[in-house]
């Protein structure tokens, strides 16, 4: 499985998106994080008001559209699958979710919300 390199959060950390609903840190520079955990963490940040979106940010409208377009499905195994509807993308959502995750877990830093608001 490919590993995304998160160079924007400090040293070259790896983030592998996995199935399931949890995350692990197999070594000090790499994380394995489920998409369900990432999206749940992002929803929590938005719901609590810790994460807001500024409408003037590049691609803010696309990010908002992607967030609204996410769909969840409970599989027969009981696992939750979260993805964009057919023919759509969730790339920006995943990028923001990884950045939020990294802000909480890379070097055990705490997250400070950047004021981003939808008008």
Residue 114 maps to a domain: no
In a domain, 117, yes or no: no
The answer to whether residue 115 is domain-embedded is no
**Could you tell me if residue 8 is inside a domain?**
yes
User: Does 27 fall in a domain?
Assistant: yes
Total domains present in the chain? 1
Enumerate residues 6+ apart whose C-beta is below 8 A from 58: none
Residue 111 lies in a domain: no
Per-residue pLDDT of the chain (119 residues; tens, 9 = 90+): 444 444 444 556 778 888 888 888 888 778 889 998 999 889 888 888 888 888 788 888 898 899 999 988 888 988 888 889 999 999 999 999 988 888 887 765 444 444 444 44
- DSSP-assigned beta bridge partners for residue 15: 4, 31
pTM to 2 decimal places: 0.74
Structural domain of 78: 4-106
Phi and psi dihedrals of 4, rounded to 5? -85, 130
Rounded distance, CA 22 to CA 36, Å? Answer: 8
């Amino acid at each position: 499985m490919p590993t995304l390199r998160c160079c924007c959060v400090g040293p070259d950390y790896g983030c592998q998106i996995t199935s399931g609903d949890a995350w692990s840190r197999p070594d000090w520079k790499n994380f394995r994080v489920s998409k369900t955990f990432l999206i749940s963490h992002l929803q929590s940040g938005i719901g609590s008001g810790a994460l807001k979106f500024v409408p003037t940010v590049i691609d803010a409208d696309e990010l908002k559209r992607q967030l609204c377009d996410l769909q969840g499905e409970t599989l027969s195994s009981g696992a939750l699958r979260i993805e964009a509807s057919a023919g759509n993308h969730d790339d920006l959502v995943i990028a923001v979710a990884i950045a939020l995750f990294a802000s909480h877990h890379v070097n055990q830093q705490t997250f400070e919300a950047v004021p981003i608001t939808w008008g």
